[in-house]
């Protein structure tokens, strides 16, 4: 068996389309996960105690089970409870839920990492809760959480490959289909690895750039 580059080039349009689906699911899923995760973290922190406990269970459940199992249950088990989603929607919903659980924990650690004195100083000059959240807590958290957020977002990219088991037309599915058809698994998966890696590197590079830009905002020594 030889490494058949021509084969890959001839299927480039298909592969690129699948890559587009992967990137779209990744970006939208991560963005929604970050957003929903933030809402969960805020509700758990500022809401009534019952709500905190009520949200703890699903977050722990999601974090305690493999994404593959979750997505399988959502797609094939959903119809039994009247939730019939097409594969792309199920994939996006699944990614969002999965990401939200992890991102919510990151946001929570961020809230806990902000020195109480920074918030008290805001209170003392008259900022209300909403203003304190917007002007002090969120910006401080952003720089504290940036490295771990980037890391989680990288994991999210790699989880999109799992969506191939429910036939989401993303990159891994497209490449393995080609592999099956032309018996070109090695070429296909080698390229696959390179593409994911390139995306991860791009994401890390953006993270590093942002960190550099934010470095002067680091916490001052006291």
Name the site residues for another protein (rule: CB under 8 A).
115, 117-118, 120-127, 131, 135-136, 139-140, 143, 216-222
In the bound state with another protein, the residue whose beta carbon lies nearer, of 20 and 115, is 115
Residue among 146, 206, 169 nearest 24 (CA): 169
Rounded to the nearest whole angstrom, what is the least distance from the CB of residue 208 to another protein in the complex? 19
In the bound state with another protein, the residue whose beta carbon lies nearer, of 2 and 128, is 128
End-to-end Cα distance, the chain:
64
In the bound state with another protein, the residue whose beta carbon lies nearer, of 129 and 208, is 129
Contact 160, 18 (CB under 8 A): no
Rounded to the nearest whole angstrom, what is the least distance from the CB of residue 114 to another protein in the complex? 10
In the bound state with another protein, the residue whose beta carbon lies nearer, of 2 and 215, is 215
Rounded to the nearest whole angstrom, what is the least distance from the CB of residue 146 to another protein in the complex? 12
Distance of CA 74 to the CA centre of its chain: 18
Contact 75, 166 (CB under 8 A): yes
Rounded to the nearest whole angstrom, what is the least distance from the CB of residue 221 to another protein in the complex? 7
In the bound state with another protein, the residue whose beta carbon lies nearer, of 121 and 205, is 121
Tokens encoding 118: 């920074």
Contact 107, 44 (CB under 8 A): no
């Amino acid at each position: 068996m030889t490494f058949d580059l021509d084969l890959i080039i001839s299927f480039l349009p298909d592969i690129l389309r699948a890559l587009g689906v992967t990137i779209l699911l990744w970006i939208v899923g991560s963005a929604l996960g970050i957003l929903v995760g933030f809402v969960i973290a805020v509700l758990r922190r500022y809401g009534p105690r019952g709500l905190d406990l009520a949200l703890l269970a699903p977050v722990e459940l999601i974090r305690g089970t493999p994404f593959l199992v979750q997505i399988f249950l959502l797609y094939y088990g959903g119809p039994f409870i009247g939730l019939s989603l097409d594969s792309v929607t199920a994939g996006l919903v699944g990614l969002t839920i999965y990401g939200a659980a992890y991102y919510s924990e990151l946001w929570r650690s961020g809230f806990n990492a902000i020195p109480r004195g920074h918030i008290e100083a805001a209170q003392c000059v008259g900022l209300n809760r909403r203003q304190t959240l917007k002007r002090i807590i969120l910006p401080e958290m952003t720089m504290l959480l940036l490295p771990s957020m980037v890391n989680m977002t990288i994991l999210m990219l790699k989880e999109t490959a799992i969506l191939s088991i429910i036939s989401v037309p993303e990159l891994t599915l497209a490449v393995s289909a080609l592999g099956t058809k032309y018996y070109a698994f090695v070429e296909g998966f080698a390229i696959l690895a390179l593409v994911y890696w390139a995306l991860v590197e791009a994401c890390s590079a953006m993270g590093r750039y942002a960190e550099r830009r934010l470095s002067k905002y680091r916490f001052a020594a006291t």
